[in-house]
């Protein structure tokens, strides 16, 4: 596909727990177009986060491939993956993963600084204001509430203007109104900077705001794609099922 | 339930007998956390091993130093009294603090033998205490026996060679001319009753008591008697020393000198205590670090125990029980390792030194109970102190906190956004994040570096070359011995202009400094000459000055002296050994002179502006007057004879202008390359091939160097061993802390990697941190460490060698520390963060 940015082919991730094997992902084929806003929904333990980590190169699949912008992640070395992440991907982790010794502002601009690029200060200020954490710019993560830390994590993911934003439950710790604000921000940012967003959520209302909803269950993309409720699914081997 | 006096009810809790449970848990924890406990165990082994080794090697080092001093002094004694009155002798014999006292009597001088007519060797009688006890440790072997008969002598092969009697052995006879104690020239046939080898006055001829009795010498005179005192206690304060001198009621001529070791015993003792303290500090830091990291890593476990009902007291008991098990095993293993190393390694080192225990003092590595106890006590104390804080941490944390405890996440509050490069900034923050830990790392490294600095500076100062260099300026000093003859007819001009020219042109000789000599008189005058002679008689003569004053006034030629002329090139050295600043122009032009002090209590303070007048010996009309510019105690400037009036030192040109055809009495030779054996053999060849070669004697810096090196043995290597062991402790501390630190930051590194930090950037961050640690340690060493080194050095500097930091060892150590500070975090970072995917590391770190 011409404007395809993410593609997974037969993606499997198995974990061994004692004598048992847990199939976190079991042959996932997914394709995401540029500037698409996708919500991945599913039950707890269905493999949503694992899928996101594999797309971001944070985890190594048991088998299968991930292509981002036409490049196979498995061909990249560790060093190249790190550079890929800071240039192409903005992560919003479920548990924030902020650096405890850096203040809010330093955390937000960290990926930009790691890449040795100039910081777009007005843009960063705008993001902080939009996320209502501008007054906390010198605070350390340890003194912020869960919701505030979530906002900082979103700001960090957006600040470097990456091509893809991978967000793992970004609104999980926010109240409904804030959650909608954040979604609004993500949508605005994605549109403004032509970003692709893959969002994991269990909140159907939030998922409704996405262009497409992918339903995942027991490590597989499932469900008949219903265009009305914008939920898509498909069998393994059909990367564009549900479209 | 009981009632207290105030009427309130008090609940008495009955102690649970939970010892068995705690024992079981302690044993179980040891078993399950094998890896972590192995590190603690090894650190305790290492600490006790190092403490044991440091003390054992330290004791060996100071025993070796004692051997060195015995060898350099020629015996084992602490003080020498010049002149021995019967009262003083009785007092010393009855003094409970004095272990033994031996008498030496200078009973005459050998002037000639059948093989050499310019011999200069003392005839010395030693009493049995001195010879058999005090001097014995300095001897290597003895053939024959100490002289019993009046005509018997005990000599060394070197002494025989110097007296032109090489090849003679025990039982052989020789004829010799000697002066007795009254100055009478005697001729006698002697029998060699024994030959010895070792350290001490090797050129002397040791004679019997019978010889001394008939020599006319008297041990109560300072020129004859030397009382060698060996004290029981080896540490004496200055005031104790002064009190002892006071108690002897010394006469004006008498003097008592403490050997340098006892003289500086107290500062040396404090210096040693300082070194021991630093060693203990290093061991403490090592154990503390590891325990802290271990307990901090186990906080969740202790929190869990609290959750299920374990009290703080029980947790404390649990940790202590674990420490007890690990401590006992660790200390035992450390001591066994230390003993094995001490018994197997050190004896071979000692054997390599060629030290015979019987003759050179008991240098045996033995299992010293004091060292054993001290090592056990200090390691135990270190474990207690080191575990105090970690135990407190484990007990004080609440169950909830413990469940979510992460060492890196406890920080609260805010901070200003900093400028500068990201990695440098992050590294800098890391140093300041846990100030205490950073300080521990830096202090530990700085302590090791400082001890290395201190010991290498001390070793350098004690090095044979440093000692020799500081006590002698020329590579070789050649002396015309014929000028010592009483009869002027026997004097010969041996160091002739052609000889000096040949000497200068030898390959490898960079400079030759002639010392011109002429006989003079110093006519009586009421000011300086009178003052000098009064002092001289009071100090050195047995009769009062008044008895000789009129003869001196009328016949000054009966009181001859010498004038010495130094070359212009030698002026800087003269300035070094004169206690006042000389005016170069005045001295070279002959306006001023320097006097050899000759042990008199004269200073420039009471002689400022005073002049001295001298006349050519035999021509009282030819006189010169000089302003006295300073005094020197340098023995080189004594000339062939030491008269009653002063020895006057002026410039060479002044002597040549004053006297007709003055002779050279000494020649100082410098080599292009110091201690050059090849040049030395050429110079000695020239002397031996000279027609009057047997009238020349020499003092060689190279020979002295060999002598001092032989006396020192492997002291330097052992000392360096101590420094390296301490440096090793510091580095281990650094490794422990840095690896622990990286371990606790693995999650942080994984997070950073997840948002784009490359391995190279992480390595740069760790290297920068390492460099900060290195810089901090070096800064501490260069300030505090250097200051302490200077104080310790000065307190132990009984050789009076100027303080000088040895450049290359310090540069080497600095480079090594910087490399260690870079390499360890780099290696640890690479090894620790290299496993699993980013998410696995985020999840499981």
**Which chain B positions have a beta carbon within 8 Å of A24's beta carbon?**
none
CB B593 within 8 A of CB B650: yes
What average pLDDT does range B625-645 have in this prediction? 87
By residue count, chain B amounts to 845
Q: What proportion of chain B, given as a percentage, has pLDDT over 90?
A: 21
- Measured at the CA of B840, the angle between CA B293 and CA A145, to 5 degrees, comes to 75
**Which chain B positions have a beta carbon within 8 Å of A155's beta carbon?**
none
Nearest-Cα distance to chain B for A156, in Å, is 9
DSSP A117: P
pLDDT digits over B558-615, tens only? 888 999 999 998 898 899 889 899 999 999 999 999 999 888 888 888 787 889 999 9
pLDDT digits over B740-769, tens only? 778 778 888 888 888 888 888 989 999 999
DSSP B15: P
CB atoms within 10 A of CB B477: 19
pLDDT of residue A225: 32
Q: Under an 8 A CB cutoff, do A114 and B757 touch?
A: yes
Nearest-Cα distance to chain A for B416, in Å, is 6
**Which chain A positions have a beta carbon within 8 Å of B761's beta carbon?**
114
Among A27-36, B197-206, B787-796, the minimum mean pLDDT is found in B787-796
Nearest-Cα distance to chain A for B845, in Å, is 13
Which of left, alpha, beta for A169 (phi over 0: left; psi -120 to 50: alpha)? Answer: left
Q: Classify residue B700 as exposed, middle or buried by CB count within 10 Å of its CB (0-12, 13-18, 19+).
A: buried
Nearest-Cα distance to chain A for B401, in Å, is 14
pLDDT band at residue B845 under the 50/70/90 scheme: low
Residue in chain A lying closest to B835 (CA): A78
Name which residue leads in pLDDT, B55 or A237: B55
Query: Across chain A, which distance is largest between two alpha carbons, in Å?
Result: 54
pLDDT of residue B346: 57
Question: Does residue B146 have a pLDDT over 90?
Answer: yes
Residue in chain A lying closest to B415 (CA): A138
Q: Under an 8 A CB cutoff, do B759 and A111 touch?
A: no
Residue in chain A lying closest to B834 (CA): A78
What average pLDDT does range B177-203 have in this prediction? 88
pLDDT digits over B346-357, tens only? 555 555 444 444
CB atoms within 10 A of CB B354: 11
Reference B199, options B357, B66, B71; nearest CA is B71
Mean per-residue pLDDT of chain A: 82
Q: How far apart are the first and last CA of chain A?
A: 13
- From residue A26, how far is each of B236, B447, B545 by CA, in Å? 86, 58, 118
Of B417, B426, B756, the CB nearest to A111: B756
Residue in chain B lying closest to A98 (CA): B751
pLDDT digits over B464-510, tens only? 666 565 545 788 889 888 887 777 777 888 888 889 999 999 999 98
Distance between CA atoms of residues B232 and B240, nearest Å: 13
**Which chain B positions have a beta carbon within 8 Å of A59's beta carbon?**
837-840
pLDDT band at residue B269 under the 50/70/90 scheme: low
- For residue B10, what are the β-bridge partners? B2
Nearest-Cα distance to chain A for B751, in Å, is 6
Nearest-Cα distance to chain A for B791, in Å, is 41
pLDDT of residue B190: 93
Beta strands in B693-838 (DSSP E): 696-700
Distance between CA atoms of residues B495 and B693, nearest Å: 10
Question: Does residue B842 have a pLDDT over 80?
Answer: no
Q: Under an 8 A CB cutoff, do B411 and A60 touch?
A: no
Q: Which two tokens stand for residue B443?
A: 């202090």
Q: What proportion of chain B, given as a percentage, has pLDDT over 70?
A: 82
Residues from B contacting A (CB-CB < 8 Å) are 408-418, 422, 426, 429-430, 433, 748, 751-761, 837-840, 842
Alpha helices (H) along A66-175: 78-88, 104-114, 121-130, 146-159
Question: Does residue B405 have a pLDDT over 80?
Answer: no
User: How much helix, strand and coil, in percent to the nearest 5, is found in chain A?
Assistant: 35, 30, 35
Q: Under an 8 A CB cutoff, do A105 and B408 touch?
A: no
pLDDT band at residue A239 under the 50/70/90 scheme: very low
Q: Under an 8 A CB cutoff, do B411 and A142 touch?
A: yes
pTM: 0.60
Residues from A contacting B (CB-CB < 8 Å) are 53, 56-60, 78-79, 82-83, 85-87, 91, 93, 97-103, 105-106, 110-111, 113-115, 137-140, 142-143, 156
What average pLDDT does range B800-812 have in this prediction? 79
**Which chain B positions have a beta carbon within 8 Å of A91's beta carbon?**
754-755
Nearest-Cα distance to chain A for B400, in Å, is 16
Beta strands in B657-758 (DSSP E): 663-671, 696-700
pLDDT digits over B88-101, tens only? 999 998 898 899 99
CA atoms within 13 A on the CB side of B279: 28
- For residue B614, what are the β-bridge partners? B624
CB B388 within 8 A of CB B296: no
Reference A60, options A71, A48, A75, A46; nearest CA is A75
**Which chain B positions have a beta carbon within 8 Å of A97's beta carbon?**
751, 754-755, 842
Query: Across chain B, which distance is largest between two alpha carbons, in Å?
Result: 118
Question: Does residue A180 have a pLDDT over 60?
Answer: yes
pLDDT of residue A240: 36
Question: Does residue A184 have a pLDDT over 60?
Answer: yes
B414 φ, ψ (degrees, to nearest 5): -130, 180
Beta strands in B184-279 (DSSP E): 185-198, 205-207, 225-231, 255-258
Which domains are present in chain A? 4-232 (3.40.50.300)
By residue count, chain A amounts to 243
pLDDT of residue B2: 44
pLDDT digits over B57-75, tens only? 667 767 777 777 788 788 9
CB B652 within 8 A of CB B513: no
């Amino acid at each position: 596909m011409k404007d395809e940015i993410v593609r997974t082919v037969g993606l499997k991730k198995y974990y061994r727990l004692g004598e048992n094997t847990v199939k976190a992902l079991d042959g996932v084929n997914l394709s995401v177009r540029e500037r698409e806003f996708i919500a991945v929904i599913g039950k707890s333990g269905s493999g949503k986060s694992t899928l996101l980590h594999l797309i971001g190169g944070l985890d190594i699949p048991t088998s299968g491939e991930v292509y981002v912008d036409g490049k196979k992640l498995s061909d990249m070395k560790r060093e190249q993956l790190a550079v890929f992440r800071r240039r192409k991907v903005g992560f919003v982790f479920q548990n924030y993963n902020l650096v405890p010794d850096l203040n809010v502002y330093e955390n937000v601009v960290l990926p930009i600084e790691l890449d040795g690029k100039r910081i777009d200060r007005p843009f960063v200020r705008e993001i902080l204001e939009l996320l209502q954490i501008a007054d906390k710019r010198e605070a350390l993560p340890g003194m912020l509430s869960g919701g505030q830390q979530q906002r900082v994590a979103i700001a960090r993911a957006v600040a470097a203007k990456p091509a893809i934003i991978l967000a793992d439950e970004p609104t999980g710790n926010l109240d409904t109104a804030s959650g909608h604000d954040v979604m609004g921000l993500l949508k605005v940012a994605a549109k403004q900077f032509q970003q692709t967003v893959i969002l994991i959520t269990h909140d159907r209302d939030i998922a409704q705001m996405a262009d497409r909803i992918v339903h995942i269950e027991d490590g597989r993309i499932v469900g008949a794609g219903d265009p009305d409720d914008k939920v898509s699914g498909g069998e393994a081997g059909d990367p564009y099922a549900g479209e | 339930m009981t009632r207290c006096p105030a009427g309130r009810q008090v609940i008495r809790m009955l102690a649970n007998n939970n010892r068995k449970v705690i024992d079981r848990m302690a044993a179980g924890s040891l078993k399950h956390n094998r890896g972590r406990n192995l590190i603690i165990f090894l650190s305790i082994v290492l600490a006790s091993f190092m403490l044991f080794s440091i003390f054992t090697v330290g004791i060996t080092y100071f025993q070796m130093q004692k051997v060195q001093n015995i060898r350099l002094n020629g015996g084992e004694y602490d003080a020498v009294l010049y002149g021995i009155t019967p009262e003083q002798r009785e007092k010393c014999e009855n003094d409970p603090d004095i272990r033994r006292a031996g008498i030496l009597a200078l009973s005459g001088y050998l002037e000639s033998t059948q093989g050499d007519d310019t011999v200069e060797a003392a005839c010395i009688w030693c009493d049995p205490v001195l010879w058999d006890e005090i001097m014995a440790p300095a001897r290597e072997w003895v053939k024959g026996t100490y002289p019993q008969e009046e005509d018997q002598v005990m000599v060394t092969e070197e002494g025989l060679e110097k007296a032109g009697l090489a090849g003679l052995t025990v039982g052989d006879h020789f004829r010799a001319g000697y002066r007795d104690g009254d100055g009478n020239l005697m001729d006698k046939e002697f029998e060699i009753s024994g030959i010895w080898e070792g350290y001490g006055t090797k050129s002397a001829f040791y004679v019997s008591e019978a010889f001394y009795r008939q020599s006319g010498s008297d041990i109560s005179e300072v020129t004859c008697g030397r009382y060698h005192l060996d004290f029981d206690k080896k540490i004496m304060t200055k005031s104790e020393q002064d009190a002892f001198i006071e108690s002897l009621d010394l006469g004006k001529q008498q003097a008592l000198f403490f050997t340098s070791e006892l003289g500086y015993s107290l500062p040396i003792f404090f210096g040693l205590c300082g070194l021991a303290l630093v060693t203990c500090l290093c061991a403490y830091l090592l154990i503390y670090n590891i325990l802290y990291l271990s307990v901090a890593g186990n906080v969740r476990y202790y929190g869990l125990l609290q959750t299920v009902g374990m009290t703080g007291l029980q947790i404390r008991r649990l940790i202590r029980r674990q420490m007890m098990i690990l401590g006992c095993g660790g200390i035992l293993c450390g001591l066994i390792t230390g003993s094995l190393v001490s018994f197997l390694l050190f004896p071979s080192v000692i054997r390599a030194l060629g030290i015979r225990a019987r003759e050179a003092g008991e240098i045996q590595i033995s299992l010293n109970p004091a060292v054993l106890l001290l090592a056990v006590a200090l390691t135990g104390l270190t474990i207690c102190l080191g575990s105090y804080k970690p135990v407190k941490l484990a007990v004080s944390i609440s169950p909830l906190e413990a469940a979510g405890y992460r060492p890196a996440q406890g920080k609260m509050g805010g901070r200003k956004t900093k400028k500068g490069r990201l990695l440098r900034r992050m590294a800098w923050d890391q140093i300041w994040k846990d100030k205490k830990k950073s300080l521990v790392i830096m202090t530990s490294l700085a302590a090791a570096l400082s001890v290395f600095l201190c010991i290498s500076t001390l070793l350098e100062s004690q090095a044979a070359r440093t000692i020799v260099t500081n006590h002698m300026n020329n590579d070789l000093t050649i002396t015309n011995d014929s000028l010592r003859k009483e009869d002027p007819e026997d004097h010969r001009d041996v160091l002739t202009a052609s000889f000096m020219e040949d000497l200068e042109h030898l390959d490898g000789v960079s400079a030759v400094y002639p010392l011109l000599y002429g006989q003079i008189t110093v006519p009586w005058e009421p000011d300086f000459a009178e003052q000098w002679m009064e002092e001289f008689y009071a100090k050195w003569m047995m009769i009062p000055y008044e008895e000789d004053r009129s003869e001196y006034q009328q016949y000054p030629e009966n009181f001859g002296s010498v004038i010495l002329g130094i070359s212009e090139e030698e002026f800087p050295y003269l300035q070094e050994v004169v206690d006042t600043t000389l005016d170069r122009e005045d001295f070279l032009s002959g306006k001023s002179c320097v006097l050899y002090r000759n042990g008199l209590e004269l200073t420039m303070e009471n002689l400022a502006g005073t002049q001295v007048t001298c006349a050519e010996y035999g021509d009282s009309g030819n006189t010169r007057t000089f302003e006295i510019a300073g005094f020197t105690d340098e023995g080189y400037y004594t000339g062939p004879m030491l008269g009653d009036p002063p020895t006057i030192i002026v410039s060479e040109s002044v002597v040549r202008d004053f006297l007709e055809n003055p002779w050279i009495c000494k020649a100082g030779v410098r080599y292009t390359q110091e201690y050059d054996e090849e040049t030395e053999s050429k110079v000695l060849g020239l002397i031996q091939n000279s027609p009057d070669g047997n009238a020349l004697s020499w003092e060689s810096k190279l020979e002295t160097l060999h002598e001092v090196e032989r006396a020192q043995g492997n002291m330097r290597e052992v000392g360096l061993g101590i420094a390296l062991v301490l440096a090793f402790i510091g580095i281990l501390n650094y490794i422990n802390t840095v690896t622990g630190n990286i371990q606790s930051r693995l999650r942080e590194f994984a997070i950073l990697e997840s948002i784009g930090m490359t391995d190279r950037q992480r390595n740069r961050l760790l290297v920068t941190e390492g460099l900060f640690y290195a810089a901090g340690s070096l800064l501490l060493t260069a300030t505090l460490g250097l200051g302490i080194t200077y104080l310790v050095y000065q307190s132990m500097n009984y050789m009076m060698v100027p303080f000088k930091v040895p450049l290359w060892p310090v540069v080497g150590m600095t480079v090594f520390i910087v490399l260690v500070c870079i390499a360890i975090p780099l290696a640890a970072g690479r090894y620790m963060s290299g496993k699993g995917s980013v998410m696995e590391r985020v999840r499981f770190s």
